[in-house]
Chains A and B, each alone.
Chain A
Amino acid sequence: MLVYNVIATLPIEENTSVLIDGDGKDFKNGTGVLDDKGFPYEVLSVGMSCGDADEMLKRTSLLIKGNFASEKLYV
């Protein structure tokens, strides 16, 4: 199991946009993840962000179903 640091979260209606460290190679739309309490969540989609390309590859934004509030994300 891999663990990712959660850098920031942003509630969007009933879902949460979650910014994690790393290029996010382990994710795709529909990937199942866990929070630090072991609760399961679904990655609805992986974000496409605009800025310096090399910077964009260092972090990944995910749209997670539900209210995700955890400092770690497991996949």
Chain B
Amino acid sequence: MYRKPKPEGYVEPMPKKQFFKLLKEFKAIGGTFGMGEDVDRFLEMQNAEASTLNGFLILFSSKPSRSAVYEELIHAEQYRNNKNDGSYRSRLENEIEAQEILIEKADEYELTEPEIVQTKKALASYKKELQEYLSERGN
């Protein structure tokens, strides 16, 4: 049987069973999530796989990757712990922390090589952006 090769950098979706288990845990602490065609369209406008809107509300695309699911759960926890005041600096700092956690727990989260590569790239981008932002502000 011939299988079409996956494109370079292809990131596979999180298995449904694992995804729904994590969603169940999130719901158990009062979390809600949005999914469906409207959410997919909204996220596509941002080229995003998912988006955390506060500590208890996450929008997920239909087939999010493992890294996207774990990253958004981290962001929701950051919000619940009052680490994120929504300012640009705070968002960048939270992004950096989230990418660092993903890299540190890559084995536990079973992240694939393309996801690890993407996460390291994101970490570098957010660090650079924070450095530039702080230097613009004279910090």
Which A residues are closer than 8 A to B by beta carbons? 7-8, 10, 12, 17, 19, 23-25, 27-31, 43-57, 59, 61, 63
Instruction: Tell me the chain B residues, 37-90 only, with Cβ under 8 Å from chain A.
Output: 38-39, 41-43, 45-54, 57, 59, 64, 67-68, 71-72, 75, 78-79, 84-88, 90
Is B88 touching A23 in the complex (CB atoms < 8 A)? Answer: yes
Interface residues on B, range: 35 or more
- Contact at A49–B46, with CB atoms within 8 Å? yes
Task: Pick the 6 closest A-B CB pairs, nearest first.
Answer: A29-B86, A46-B86, A53-B125, A53-B122, A49-B48, A48-B75
Set of chain A residues within 8 Å of B31, measured between Cβ atoms: none
- Residues of B within 8 Å of A50, CB to CB, are 48-51, 64, 67-68, 71-72
- Tell which of A17, A29, A51 touches B59, judged by Cβ atoms closer than 8 Å: A17
The answer to whether A12 and B50 have CB atoms under 8 Å apart is: no
